Chain A
Amino acid sequence: MSSDPLEIPDVLKPIENLLKGVTIMKPGRVVALLEPSDVVKAYAALKARYGEVGLYFSTLVATDLKDEGKIRIDYYVNVLEKNQYVVLRTHVPRDDPRIESLLKEAPAALPGECEAYDLLGVVFEGNPHLRRAFFVPEEVAEKGVFPLRKDAGV
Chain B
Amino acid sequence: MGKIPLLKEVVKLIFSKPATIQYPREETPVEPDARGRQYADLSKCIGCSLCMIECPPKAIRMEKIPEGYEVPKRNARKIYPVVDYFKCIYCYRCVTVCPTKAYIVTNEYRLASDAPVNSRELSLSTLKKVSQEPSQGEGEG
Q: Do chains A and B touch in the complex (CB under 8 A)?
A: no
- Measuring CB to CB, which residues of chain B are less than 8 angstroms from any residue of chain A? none
